[in-house]
Structure 1
Amino acid sequence: MAHLKRTLSLGTLVIFGVGLMTPIIVLGTFGILAQSSDGHVPMAYLAALVAMLLTAISYAHMAKAFPVSGSSYTYVRKAIDARLGFMTGWAILLDYLFLPMAIWLIGTAYLNSAFPAVPPFIWLLAFIALTTVINILGLKIATAVNVLLLLVQVLILAAFIALCIHYTLGDPSRPLFTLTPFASGGVQWSMIMSGAAIACYSYLGFDAVSTLTEETHDPERNMPRAILWVTLIGGLIFVGTSYVVQVAQPSLQFANVDSAAYEIAKNIGGDVFVSIFLIGLVIGQFTSGIAAQASGSRLLYVLGRDSVLPKGFFGYLSPRFGTPVGCILLSAVVALLALKMDVTTSTSFINFGAFLTFILVNLSVIFHYWIGQKRRGLKALVLYVLLPLAGMAADLWLMFSLDANAVELGLSWLAIGFVYLTYLTGGLRRQPPELTLEDAI
């Protein structure tokens, strides 16, 4: 019988998580965030970092308590209730199923802007095909590709930052150090939180690495550290980069808000750098797509292995590659919906599912440590009650900052999941099927 192989170290986990975040996406979405936050992109990223860090701490606690794949689905199922765990897994499927699609849509949009003669679906199909093949071959190959591509995009991101600083220093009227990108007169915090709700899309790498627990060496020690490191590194990159770009480009006027970074790249580096930037952005999307598809397929595998989804298909591992081939292929098929969807619609799904899941993971910390294990004392009160409650409050605020379409789409998906859960449990009278912890390892 095939099993997931423990091949990942702390370093490779961090690389995988940061790769999924796609550091260069801070440039790709800069125009959208600049308008939604009224020119306070760094503050939007900082607000998102606080919320995500609080939630990442809860993920770290739960990853240590339950060192198996399944991420939030496993945490809530084990700590609170199997039926609520199912709904958590159903909600996070919004994230994992649609995240690769959103990633490839962004890459396709930029390639189409540079090569309008090529039909967009050609780029989209190429993204899907290449990442699917790499993930089927296994995580060792996927990780090696990620390391190389992550290095390329980091170098281009560094060049972008350097050119922004050079551009700012060349204009004496623009101070390099200013608090205006974080707060200014008449700033509307509702707009900043609206921007933060969008910015959270970039932080999802910390959550995705938790699905690779069963392929990690010493997961009780390495997984919690990886989750926190990925969150902090991503936050530093997003806040720092957006600050430098905001100072260099304080105006909110762009010819196309969806490709604002393209205009900024041309202003600070000319036509040659625009081409280099485009290559870096596309490489970043490809890197992130590999990691997103790998994580999503592992969650589907765990749901299938537990017979929550049909086990014959979802719980199957390739004897040759040791990877959930069927789940990987399914994610590729779902991504084909991108042919009829746009980035806004797909990310709306992702944000709603992510925030709902984060709230439940924070709640699971309280149930597992404070209620279940009866941890007491000041340290336990802070770690297992106050911080999770703060994380829940932050996630709720971000959820209510989403537009109405995101909430409607998310609630519709949850309704479908609840109907399936009712069928699976005979009207909620019994728990969904689950695998013992010992068998899962």
Structure 2
Amino acid sequence: MKNFWKRMNHKESPSVYENKDSHLVRSLTTKDFISLGVGTIVSAAIFTLPGIVAANNAGPAVTISFLLAAIVAGLVALAYAEMASAMPFAGSAYSWINVIFGEFWGWVAGWALLAEYFIAVAFVAAGLSANIRGLISPLGINLPTSLSNPITTSGGLIDIVTVIVILLVAWLLSNGISKVAKVENVLVLLKVFAIILFIIVGLTAIHIQNYLPFIPKPHVNPDGTRFGGFGGIYAGVSVIFLSYIGFDSIAANSAEAKNPQKTMPRGIIGSLIVAVVLFVGVSLVLVGMFKYTNYANNAEPVGWALRQSGHEVVATVVQTIASAGMFTALIGMMLAGSRLLYSFGRDGMLPKFLSKLNHKHLPNNALIVLTVIGVIIGSCLSFQFLSQLVSAGTLIAFMFVSLGIYSLRKREGKDIQVPGFKMPFYPVLPALSFLASLSVFWGLDNDAKIYALVWFIIGAIIYFSYGMHHFKEEVK
């Protein structure tokens, strides 16, 4: 038992990951990471969740939910910035926790993040599908219900648009990061333009009475979720939090960063600041245009609000650019997810074929596995159900990283390099980051927490039956 426990807590040497990741090409700059971060964070959620959360949880106070979620994300982002600067390894939290806390705990954090990437790929693709279908509907082009909805939806068989966009992004990524980064930068600029255009035009259609009461009276929805009051705002935070999780996808690619001590903190923090401003602006304008009840079960509220207010041309422009821009989020999530799977294969925690690189030094085997699973999930689960599940795994990893700052500080300048950025107000902020992440996790609905537990049990079985016996095998 003693040796068993010792093995679970064995800490990997940072130099081992430096050597293993040395064959990855360091080609990404600060501009690329900010673009990647904004592209991933400002994704399907900004065009969907403000309306859904306003209708289901917070009313006009959805703006407060976005601000509170941003504060939590900001605290965690500071911890991520220090970790990524000190340990620029592929796999982000998985690799960091392996070094800081030990083998088993690194696996738990990485396994939780893997759930995020699997589900987020399907979630973003489903949101993109809804916007594309909303865009072509006025043209008289309507896909049959069987090809527009997942199999778990009444009359649905497969969301064919979701499948197509996932396969398209996988093909782009299989051709190399530097080429994808150029596409990403252009699409991000277009997407930010579309969001600003919506805010400017939407301001002309605001009706003050739609903000009243700003915080509706609390009650319990038929499905058991809370609406109105602080409870509704809190419930909204837990749903909305997934909007900000894209910054962790930046960290997953830190092994491919130029001068990571500077580029990683700037990319993580810079992209989050831009995202917060855009999210708050969209949510504030959206609930002012129409009564929040109009957005119930509406997967494309931004386009709908513009069309209903008489701005059909602007709606078409915004949704066209937004749909193209959503590819940036899919690129970020699939890029990060494939690098995490590569890291598992690199360490022998999952079969080694996941870490095999092609002639371009790209882990395309890992990309293929991620693509197949993303397609399956996107074909089976609805958009709103996926929105709750994304946050659960991410928050578990965030709690590990927040607490990991305490152990990291003791080793900086020794076996771990001194980072170019340090989390301020140490030791207070790491504790606040952990508690804030825990509170958001606690606010998730019971289904999300149950599925997180089931995912953890599956991960533990894989670790004890396979990963523990193969960890640290050389990957050639």
Q: Offset of 1:23 from its aligned partner? A: 4.9
Q: Which residue of 1 aligns with 2:68?
A: 47
Q: Which residue of 2 aligns with 1:142?
A: 180
Whole-Å separation in 1 of the counterparts to 2:337 and 2:363:
10
Correspondence 1:363-378 to 2 at 5 A = 363-369=403-409
Q: Which residue of 2 aligns with 1:230?
A: 271
Task: Please say if 1:128 is aligned against 2:161.
Answer: no
Q: Which residue of 2 aligns with 1:12?
A: 32
Q: Which residue of 2 aligns with 1:109?
A: 130
Whole-Å separation in 2 of the counterparts to 1:66 and 1:255:
44
Closer/same/farther in 2, CA of residues 109 and 6 from structure 1, 3 Å limit: same
Q: Offset of 1:191 from its aligned partner? A: 1.1
Task: Please say if 1:389 is aligned against 2:431.
Answer: yes
Percent sequence identity over matched residues?
24
Q: Select the residue among 412, 428, 440 that pairs with 1:398.
A: 440
Contact 1:20 1:292 in 2 (8 A): yes
For normalisation by structure 1, the TM-score amounts to: 0.88
Measured on the aligned residues, the alpha-carbon RMSD in Å equals: 2.9
Q: Offset of 1:203 from its aligned partner? A: 0.8
Q: Which residue of 2 aligns with 1:433?
A: 471
Task: Please say if 1:314 is aligned against 2:354.
Answer: yes
Contact 1:8 1:216 in 2 (8 A): yes
Q: Offset of 1:400 from its aligned partner? A: 1.0
Q: Offset of 1:405 from its aligned partner? A: 0.7
Q: Offset of 1:269 from its aligned partner? A: 4.3
Closer/same/farther in 2, CA of residues 71 and 165 from structure 1, 3 Å limit: same
Correspondence 1:334-373 to 2 at 5 A = 334-337=373-376, 338-369=378-409
Closer/same/farther in 2, CA of residues 435 and 32 from structure 1, 3 Å limit: farther
Q: Select the residue among 75, 95, 98 that pairs with 1:77.
A: 98
Whole-Å separation in 1 of the counterparts to 2:310 and 2:335:
35
Closer/same/farther in 2, CA of residues 255 and 91 from structure 1, 3 Å limit: closer
**Corresponding letter in the other structure for 2:142:** P
Closer/same/farther in 2, CA of residues 275 and 339 from structure 1, 3 Å limit: same
Correspondence 1:285-296 to 2 at 5 A = 285-296=326-337
Q: Offset of 1:184 from its aligned partner? A: 7.2
Task: Please say if 1:272 is aligned against 2:298.
Answer: no
Closer/same/farther in 2, CA of residues 257 and 39 from structure 1, 3 Å limit: farther
**Corresponding letter in the other structure for 2:234:** M
TM-superposition CA deviations, 1:21-43 (whole Å, max 9, x none): 13563222222111222321211
Task: Please say if 1:259 is aligned against 2:279.
Answer: no
**Corresponding letter in the other structure for 2:80:** Y
Secondary structure at the residue paired with 2:24? coil
Secondary structure at the residue paired with 2:28? coil
Q: Which residue of 1 aligns with 2:195?
A: 157
Q: Which residue of 2 aligns with 1:327?
A: 366
Closer/same/farther in 2, CA of residues 301 and 255 from structure 1, 3 Å limit: closer
Whole-Å separation in 1 of the counterparts to 2:424 and 2:296:
48
Closer/same/farther in 2, CA of residues 48 and 434 from structure 1, 3 Å limit: farther
Whole-Å separation in 2 of the counterparts to 1:83 and 1:373:
25
TM-superposition CA deviations, 1:369-427 (whole Å, max 9, x none): 158889xxxxx99644210110111111111111111011111000010111122366x
Q: Offset of 1:185 from its aligned partner? A: 7.7
Q: Which residue of 2 aligns with 1:377?
A: none
Task: Please say if 1:423 is aligned against 2:443.
Answer: no
Whole-Å separation in 2 of the counterparts to 1:34 and 1:277:
21
Q: Which residue of 2 aligns with 1:34?
A: 54
Q: Which residue of 1 aligns with 2:14?
A: none
TM-superposition CA deviations, 1:88-112 (whole Å, max 9, x none): 1111100112211111111112333
- Can you give the 5+ residue segments of structure 2 that lack an aligned partner in the other structure? 1-19, 149-158, 219-227, 415-421
**Corresponding letter in the other structure for 1:386:** V
- Can you give the 5+ residue segments of structure 1 that lack an aligned partner in the other structure? 375-379
Q: Which residue of 1 aligns with 2:116?
A: 95
Q: Tell me whether 290-299 or 1-10 shows the greater mean CA deviation.
A: 1-10
Task: Please say if 1:21 is aligned against 2:46.
Answer: no
Closer/same/farther in 2, CA of residues 127 and 74 from structure 1, 3 Å limit: same
Whole-Å separation in 2 of the counterparts to 1:332 and 1:372:
37
**Corresponding letter in the other structure for 1:416:** I
Whole-Å separation in 1 of the counterparts to 2:423 and 2:183:
43
Secondary structure at the residue paired with 2:449? helix
**Corresponding letter in the other structure for 1:94:** A
Q: Offset of 1:71 from its aligned partner? A: 0.6
Whole-Å separation in 2 of the counterparts to 1:268 and 1:146:
31
Whole-Å separation in 2 of the counterparts to 1:216 and 1:325:
19
Closer/same/farther in 2, CA of residues 23 and 107 from structure 1, 3 Å limit: closer
Closer/same/farther in 2, CA of residues 348 and 237 from structure 1, 3 Å limit: same
**Corresponding letter in the other structure for 2:463:** L
Q: Select the residue among 223, 244, 247 that pairs with 1:206.
A: 247
Q: Which residue of 2 aligns with 1:242?
A: 283
| Number of corresponding residues | 423
Whole-Å separation in 2 of the counterparts to 1:435 and 1:231:
37
Secondary structure at the residue paired with 1:167? coil
Q: Tell me whether 190-199 or 256-265 shows the greater mean CA deviation.
A: 256-265
Whole-Å separation in 2 of the counterparts to 1:21 and 1:348:
16
**Corresponding letter in the other structure for 2:253:** L
Contact 1:23 1:234 in 2 (8 A): no
Closer/same/farther in 2, CA of residues 425 and 116 from structure 1, 3 Å limit: closer
Q: Offset of 1:255 from its aligned partner? A: 6.5
TM-superposition CA deviations, 1:142-166 (whole Å, max 9, x none): 1111112222222221111111112
Task: Please say if 1:414 is aligned against 2:440.
Answer: no
Closer/same/farther in 2, CA of residues 292 and 425 from structure 1, 3 Å limit: closer
Q: Which residue of 2 aligns with 1:188?
A: 229
For normalisation by structure 2, the TM-score amounts to: 0.82
Contact 1:51 1:394 in 2 (8 A): yes
